[in-house]
Each structure stands twice: as C-alpha cells, then as structure tokens.
C-alpha cells in the first residue's frame, strides 16, 4: 500500500482489527466444515452440508448486521452467518453430533438447520425458501411494535425459483420492509447448473420487478460483499425498504456428504475453483496491505484449530437426549 491511496477496507470504514476478525470468522467457518467432513467420513456424524466457497459472502454479509439486535433467517450453508451472529463452535458441534444440548433442536433436526434464540437466529427447515416469508413477517411485526430491526434471510440460486421466494420479495417490496434477501449463487442446484435453472440468467435482475434494488456482487470478495450489505443495511435503517443481493459464490465441495459432484462437473471445473477460493483471496489482500504477517497468520491458525478441537471433543462427550425426548414439545401449555 502506498501512502497516498486508501486501502479498500479503510474506504469502507473498517479497521485492521475488524478486518482481521472477519478473516478469523472466515477461517473458523472453513476449519469447522473441514472437521465435519472428517467426522462424517470417519463415521462419527451422519451428514455434512458445506459453506466452502461462500465464506466471504457469509461473513462479509453478516458483518453489516448488528449482533443481538438484527434477526437472521439463514439457509443451510450459512455457517459463517451463524458464527458472526454469535453462535459458538461448541453449539455448532452439538448440532452436528445431534446431542441433547444442541440449541437448534436438542438433536431432533439434521445439522445446519440452525436456530438459536439467544443470537436471534430463527429455526429453519429443509423445504427451501419458507424462511423468506418468515423474515418478512418478522420485519412486519417488528415495525408494528416500532422496533429497530433489520432482517437477514438467504437461500441458494436454485431456490430463487420457488413460489415462496417471489411471494416474499413481493410482500417486502409492497410494504417497504427492512429485509435483506441474499442469494448465494454457487451455480449449482445439487447437480443442475444455473443455465438450466434460472431464466434470464440473473437473480439480481429480479429485484427490480419487486420494487427493490437488486445487485450482483462477487461473493468471493469479502470487501465487495460487505460494501453491498452495508449499503443495503443503511437503506433499511433509513426506512428505504428491502434489498436483494446476489452473491456469486463457489461450491467447492459436493452438494452434501451424500453427493459426489464428480458425476456432473468436470475435473477441470472443480480444479479451477481453487484460484477463486475466497480464503486465498482475503489472505492475499491482508498480506499485500501488510496487515497480517506469517507469524500473525500462524497465530490465527493455532487459535482456530484449538477452538475446533475443543468444540469437537466437548460436543462428542455430551449426552444424547433420552429416546422419549422424541415425544416432547408437540404442544405448549394451553
């Protein structure tokens, strides 16, 4: 960096410490996911579904929100969103091991069906985009009470074809509600590529039809994502309504641990993703601007590894719920 040009993060009002914290969350997201794959392949947990290739989109997006004030309705890949919102690695691992103290569900739900009351992360399900309507309802109810809340919700590009997706954007646009809709476009809906899923080729362009700005952003570029979300969040707080952000991401892993993407993607295509890895990009940025040297980088690596080790060992040692727990929480006290 030369003395007379401002670095991009500074132009966005981010300090070195903030940027390093974002990097830490991206790395934590990646390392937790890598550990989950090891655990799955080792037969210790049944299922994994990954954020790899979307860490910049998730952490850059989440960073524009206010922890413990704004609300989050993420989708199943949104590990990074959860971590920035305040969910701990131990809590993530409890869910992966389906233990009784898993805050999402006590082990009833599959992993990545997030839910954390303390972090304003609302319980989600498997049918896609149902949560977008919940996000709109939360925004509506919070406005009725005069509360200052901005709502995050997200899905993949394949899901942007669901009826609920369109109904949610229409409703949010009609009422000018403070909701930020993110679509993490990783080019594949399991095995079906974008060109066979999305008419017109652009999710962002759909925003205009619902009366809100729709922007497309490089989802592997942490600062670009943060900038788009900061602007959308500022708009929401000014009462200017919803935004749609399409983040172009990578899907480095197969859809899930039950999928093998080598059956429908070429080896060259899979290999080419390495060059665009968001973690590589941000590490390069940090080095280029003299923000993180090798020693500092190693320090973060050690810290993240220790947290992942601790979370894994601790969560595995926690008990399952009793079988009869299956009968609990069908109805509340009338």
Partner 1 sequence: MAVLNFLEAVRETLRAEMRRDKDVWVVGEDVGKKGGVFGATLGLFDEFGDQRVQDSPLTESAIVGVGIGAALYGSKPVCEIQFADFIFPAFNQIISEAAKMRYRSDGDWTVPMVIRAPFGGGVHGGLYHSQSVEQYFTSTAGLKVVVPSTPYDVKGLLAAAIRDPDPVLFFEHKGLYRAIKGEVPEGDYIIPIGKADVKRDGTDITVITYGKAVHFCLEAAEELAKEGHSALVLDLRTLLPLDREAIMTAARKTGKVLIVHEAGKTHGIGAEVAALIAEECLFDLDAPVQRLCGPDIPAMPYAGPMEKFYMLSPEKCLEAMRTLAQF
Binding site for partner 1 (CB under 8 A): 103-106, 108-109, 113, 115, 117, 122-123, 125-127, 130, 132-142, 144-145, 163-164, 167-168, 170-171, 174, 328-334
Residue ranges in the chain assigned as alpha helix (H): 8-11, 16-41, 55-62, 79-85, 89-96, 130-144, 163-175, 206-209, 222-237, 267-272, 278-288, 294-317
Place of tokens 């406005």: 143
Q: For residue 117, what are its two tokens?
A: 């009351």
Residue 130 CB, nearest approach to partner 1 (Å): 5
Q: Could you confirm whether 24 is annotated as catalytic?
A: no
Comparison of 25 and 165: residue with beta carbon closer to partner 1: 165
CA distance 70 to 86: 12
| Closer Cβ to partner 1, 18 or 130, answer by number | 130
Residues 6+ apart with CB under 8 A from 107: 98, 99, 100, 320, 321, 325
Q: Rank residues 295 and 330 by Cβ distance to partner 1 and give the closer one.
A: 330
Q: Which is nearer to partner 1, 183 or 228 (CB)?
A: 183
Contact of 180 with 151, CB cutoff 8 Å: yes
DSSP for 135-200? HHHHHHHHHHTT----EEEEEETGGGGSHHHHHHHHHHHHHT--EEEEEEE-SEETTEEGGGT-TT
Which of 251, 284, 320, 331 is the catalytic position?
Answer: 251
The helix/strand/coil state of 220 is coil
- Residue 210 C-beta: closest distance to partner 1, Å: 11
Query: Do residues 183 and 203 touch, judged by C-beta distance below 8 A?
Result: yes
- Both tokens of residue 326? 């299956």
Q: What is the maximum alpha-carbon separation in the chain?
A: 67
Q: Select 122 or 292, whichever has its Cβ closest to partner 1.
A: 122
Q: How far apart are CA 94 and CA 265, in angstroms?
A: 33
Nearest distance in Å: CB 70, partner 1 = 13
- Provide the 3-class DSSP secondary structure of residue 15: coil
Q: How far is the CB of 175 from partner 1 (least distance, A)?
A: 9
> Annotated catalytic, 113?
no
**CB closer to partner 1, 18 vs 140:** 140
| 264, 303, 320, 331: the active-site residue | 264
Backbone angles phi, psi at 155, to 5 degrees: -160, 180
Residue 152 is among the residues annotated as catalytic for this protein: no
For residue 290, the minimal CB distance to partner 1 (Å) is 45
| Shortest distance in whole angstroms from residue 138 CB to partner 1 | 4
Catalytic residue numbers? 251, 255, 264
């Amino acid at each position: 960096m030369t003395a007379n040009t401002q670095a991009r993060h500074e132009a966005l009002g981010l300090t070195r410490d903030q940027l390093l914290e974002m990097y830490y969350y991206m790395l934590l997201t990646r390392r937790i996911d890598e550990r989950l794959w090891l655990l799955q392949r080792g037969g210790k947990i049944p299922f994994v579904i990954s954020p790899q290739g979307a860490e910049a989109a998730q952490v850059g997006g989440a960073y524009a929100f206010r922890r413990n004030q704004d609300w989050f309705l993420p989708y199943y890949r949104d590990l990074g969103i959860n971590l920035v919102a305040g969910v701990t690695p131990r809590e993530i691992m409890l869910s992966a091991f389906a233990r009784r103290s898993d805050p999402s569900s006590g082990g009833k739900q599959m992993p990545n069906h997030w839910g954390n009351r303390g972090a304003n992360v609302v319980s989600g399900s498997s049918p896609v985009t149902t949560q977008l309507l919940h996000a709109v309802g939360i925004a509506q109810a919070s406005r009725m009470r005069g509360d200052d809340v901005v709502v995050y919700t997200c899905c993949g590009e394949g899901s942007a074809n669901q009826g609920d997706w369109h109904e949610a954007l229409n409703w949010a646009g009609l009422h000018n509600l403070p909701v930020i809709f993110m679509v993490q476009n990783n080019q594949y809906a399991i095995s079906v590529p974008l060109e066979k899923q999305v008419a017109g080729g652009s999710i962002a362009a759909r925003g205009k039809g619902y009366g809100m700005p729709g922007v497309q952003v490089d989802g592997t570029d942490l600062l670009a994502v943060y900038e788009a979300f900061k602007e959308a969040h500022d708009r929401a707080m000014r009462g200017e309504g919803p935004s749609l952000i399409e983040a172009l991401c990578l899907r480095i892993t197969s859809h899930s641990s039950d999928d093998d993407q080598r059956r429908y993607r070429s080896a060259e295509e899979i290999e080419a993703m390495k060059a665009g890895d968001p973690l590589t990009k941000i590490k390069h940025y940090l080095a280029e601007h003299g923000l993180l040297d090798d020693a500092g980088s190693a320090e973060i690596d050690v810290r993240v590894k220790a947290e992942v080790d601790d979370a894994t060992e601790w969560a595995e040692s926690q008990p399952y719920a009793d079988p009869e727990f299956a009968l609990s929480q069908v109805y509340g006290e009338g």
